[in-house]
Amino acid sequence: MGRLGAHVSAAGGVANAFARGAAIGCDALQVFVKNASTWRGKALDDRAISAFREARAVTAGPGVPAPLPVVAHASYLINLASPESVTAERSRAALLDELQRCDALGIDGLVLHPGAHVGSGEDAGLDAIAAALDDVFARHEGGATILLLENTAGQGTVLGADLAHHGRLLRSVAAPERIGVCLDTCHAFAAGIDLRTHDGYEAFLATVDEEVGLGRVGAWHLNDSLHPLGSRKDRHASIGAGEIGLGAFARLIVDPRFEAVPMVLETPLGDDEQGHARDLVTLRSSSAAEGTSP
């Protein structure tokens, strides 16, 4: 089974994420390494960094190989495809800051939405992203955190609904080894990929393999979709409660090709804030049921 977990709050210090994750049964975590809705975050001090590393070290236990896989999600404000120079430069600086934070913490991957061209067109947008990535990597030489470009629902002028965009970016940048992908089930489904069927799932993976290589999949986002296939709308639903349905997730989480890949929930928490805990139980019991059938 894949390494199942959730996006957990880093309130009060990013090291607190481990206890929150453990409380709901996470074998992998996603966090924000700064306030995701602001450009500038409070600097990470040495104490916060060592607290994080210590908390991560003790998460290893029976059946949980150390260290716990942890990815971060970059701020939603970042738009490397922006044709507007102030936003473009702010975005580069913000991404550089997030990569530096991730490296200080020893985080495996930083998930980033590729960007939105806001009217300049797909070609110009993708070229801008590639140039920005080259610039940011050049300003952060030797960084170990892999930048995971997410697939998107394709709403508005957002790039990256088509894995061909990821493939083109990988072929354009000077340091493709610093880039991987994060695959979001809700976004794929909203972009027209029918993950409900075996054939739809395998066709999607064939595209991923052709464009970027399955070995570059550094994380999955497990989200059901509130809206139907091809809606191009990015609204997550609880596992099994949306248009994708439980069967697709039961298939994915036992796929041996992704055994070591963190699979994190970004589903609604609900009024009692226990949405992720419930979804983890749903996922794990789905695969138990799957395991009993031939």
- Residues lying near Zn ion in the complex (CB under 5 A): 184, 221, 234
Look up residue 81 and give its two tokens.
């495809």
Calpha distance 24→34 (Å, rounded): 22
Shortest distance in whole angstroms from residue 234 CB to Zn ion: 4
* Position 189, amino acid: F
| CB closest to Zn ion, residue no | 221
| Cα four-point dihedral sign 76, 82, 86, 90 | positive
Cis peptide before 114 (omega within 30 of 0): no
| Cβ proximity to Zn ion, 184 vs 279, nearer residue | 184
**Minimum distance of Zn ion from residue 137's CB (angstroms):** 23
Q: Which is nearer to Zn ion, 15 or 30 (CB)?
A: 30
Shortest Å, Cβ 215 to Zn ion: 20
Looking only at the bridges linking them, the beta strands covering 70-73 and 109-112 are: parallel
Strands 179-184 and 146-150: parallel
Joined tokens for residue 126: 């993708």
**CB 150, min distance to Zn ion, A:** 6
Q: CB nearer to Zn ion: give 135 or 162.
A: 162
Question: Which tokens in the block code for residue 207?
Answer: 């595209």
Q: Judged by CB, which is closer to Zn ion: 117, or 221?
A: 221
